[in-house]
Amino acid sequence: MTESPIKLLLVDDDEDARRSAAKWMRRKGHDVSDVSNAAEALSLLQRETFEVGVFDMNMPGMSGLELLQRIHQEHLEIEVIMLTGQGTVETAVSAMKMGACEFLSKPCSLGDLEHHCFRARERCQLKKENKQLKAVISRARPAAELIGESPSLRHVVHMIEKVAPTSKPVLIQGESGTGKEVVAQAIQQASQFADNPFVTVNCAAFPENLVESELFGHLKGAFTGASSEKPGLFEIADGGTLFIDEVGELPLALQPKLLRVLEDGTMRRVGCHRERKVKVRIIAATNRDVQSEVDAGNFREDLFYRINVFLIHLPTLREREGDIDRLIDHFLPKTHHIDPDARDVLNRYPWPGNIRQLINVLERAMILSDNCEITLDDLPHEIVDYDQVSMMRARRDRESSHHEAIDEFHHIEKLGDARFKLDDIVRVHVEEVLAKEHGNKASAARKLGIHRRKLYRLLDRFQCSDRDSHREVAPACQSTV
């Protein structure tokens, strides 16, 4: 058998026929469970997931048709083949309306039964792929490449290349706007899951009571407003990647459920007792310090260690030396040109909103620009004003440093003047240090490198020194302060 085995459920009250079919299908390599009545089948379906079910139409107690109806009501996902020895057109039509994919008459050869089971399993897979494709299309985001050549960004690219081939969870930390989702997409595109769904969810975008439904799905009537069945993002992302943005916002009560999925791949929809198996690669992102959240009791320690198998820290835009010019050239269309003065101002701005803020500023400037030429007048006032203020502050700092250097030079010059005695120079130095320490003798002694008692003795000696000598030296020395 070249095709993969089928997870199959056989339900028939005819024990000989059922066991004969189960034995033959198992010998063919299929994973088969068989029960004698619909009640047992329903109980099993609520605990396990099956791809295909083969039900006898006429059974004592609950019939096969009633079992099919219960499966439809409880939104259990399984493709059903109906078997009957007394089939009519009406019963066949009823079964097909309830969702049966095949209607076979007894006796049926086991080879034909296997063939129909393969067709039913193919239909099941097509439904799942269609659901995933719709979700991916509805959530699709244009892929963006990592732009820049700074050492900090090259390090991020190196980390992506290392972790992408694995299926391990990844935690991306960085300020808002640094490109966490872009990095997650880059990991997925370089991984074994590249052709499978990439599904995103932002935990901060949903009210706390709806996050669980968004992640795990719900049944109809599970809570107020649940007017229809809804698959969760874990189911939609099955076989692919689920990007959980702002994972630090995940409600504390919901964290054990996420931990369970990470550990053994099992989950339940809200309002459902039946477990489902999913295989999903988790990439989480946050702008918080999750370790601090763990210390504060806001995030489970075991979940933190489970998602933090591989940590990627994204640098801020202000830490990416030289990348602002590259990003400007990437996001500006070829039809637009930016004035060198405006480009310099953008390079000097600290960008608290990072790349997202830079993109918004460029889009605004393109709208305001005349003849596709972006100038200082097209930039937001807060960016231009910040540049002017920072330049004035830098100029004052340079001038202040220049004056201090000149004063220091003059002070050192006078130290070699033979007109001054050593005691006078010591006195001026001590008084200057004491003044800078706002009269704090303990702090001044530390700055001078002497014991506090020695400083007290020096001050006493200065008070007892000759007043005439003091009058001769002080004016000259005070000019250097």
Tens digit of pLDDT for each residue in 258-294? Answer: 999 999 888 888 888 888 888 999 999 999 999 999 9
Residue range 318-341: mean pLDDT, rounded? 93
Residue range 172-176: mean pLDDT, rounded? 95
Residue 34 has pLDDT above 50, yes or no: yes
- What are the helix and strand counts (H, E) for the chain? 20, 16
pLDDT band at 46 (very low <50, low <70, confident <90, very high): confident
Neighbours of 454 (CB within 10 A): 12
Encode 303-315 in three state secondary structure.
HHHHHCCEEEECC
pLDDT tens digits, one per residue of 202-247: 998 888 778 888 899 888 888 887 778 888 899 899 889 999 999 9
Alpha-carbon span 250 to 284, nearest angstrom:
11
Neighbours of 256 (CB within 10 A): 11
Q: Tell me if residue 341 falls in helix, strand or coil.
A: helix
Residue 469 has pLDDT above 60, yes or no: no
Alpha-carbon span 112 to 24, nearest angstrom:
12
More confident residue, 417 or 59: 59
Alpha-carbon span 476 to 295, nearest angstrom:
60
Nearest to 270 by CA among 209, 351, 331: 209
pLDDT band at 393 (very low <50, low <70, confident <90, very high): low
Residue 85 has pLDDT above 90, yes or no: no
CB 473, CB 431: distance < 8 Å: no
Nearest to 256 by CA among 246, 267, 245: 267
Is beta strand 7-11 parallel, antiparallel or unpaired with respect to 52-56? parallel
Is beta strand 276-277 parallel, antiparallel or unpaired with respect to 266-267? antiparallel
pLDDT band at 369 (very low <50, low <70, confident <90, very high): very high
DSSP string, 45-79: HTTS--SEEEEES--SSS-HHHHHHHHHHTT---E
Residue range 26-35: mean pLDDT, rounded? 91
Residue range 183-197: mean pLDDT, rounded? 89
CB 156, CB 314: distance < 8 Å: yes
Nearest to 473 by CA among 434, 420, 433: 420
pLDDT band at 470 (very low <50, low <70, confident <90, very high): very low
More confident residue, 398 or 473: 398
Give me the helices (H) in 351-440, please.
Answer: 354-368, 381-415, 422-436
Q: For residue 303, what pLDDT is reported?
A: 94
Question: What are the backbone dihedrals phi and psi of residue 232, each rounded to the nearest 5 degrees, phi first?
Answer: -85, 165
Q: Kindly report which listed range (9-23, 97-111, 306-320) carries the lowest average pLDDT score.
A: 97-111
Residues contacting residue 372 through CB under 8 Å, at least 6 positions apart: 335, 336, 337, 366
More confident residue, 49 or 405: 49
**How much of the chain exceeds pLDDT 70, in percent?**
85
* Residue 71 in tokens: 């499966």
* Residue 310 in tokens: 């591989």
Residues contacting residue 420 through CB under 8 Å, at least 6 positions apart: 414, 473, 476, 477
Residues contacting residue 343 through CB under 8 Å, at least 6 positions apart: 325, 328
Question: What are the backbone dihedrals phi and psi of residue 382, each rounded to the nearest 5 degrees, phi first?
Answer: -65, -30
pLDDT tens digits, one per residue of 396-447: 666 565 555 555 555 555 555 555 566 777 777 888 888 888 888 888 888 8
Q: For residue 372, what pLDDT is reported?
A: 92
Q: For residue 276, what pLDDT is reported?
A: 85
Alpha-carbon span 409 to 396, nearest angstrom:
20
Give, for 93, the enclosing helix (H) or strand (E). helix 89-97
* Residue 317 in tokens: 């835009």
**Can you list the domains of the chain with their CATH numbers?**
7-124 (3.40.50.2300), 151-315 (3.40.50.300), 318-381 (1.10.8.60), 386-478 (no CATH)
pLDDT band at 88 (very low <50, low <70, confident <90, very high): low
Residue range 376-384: mean pLDDT, rounded? 91
CB 346, CB 358: distance < 8 Å: yes
Residue range 326-333: mean pLDDT, rounded? 94
Residue 140 has pLDDT above 60, yes or no: no
Residue 311 has pLDDT above 90, yes or no: yes
Residue 309 has pLDDT above 90, yes or no: yes
Residues contacting residue 398 through CB under 8 Å, at least 6 positions apart: none
* Residue 98 in tokens: 């309830």
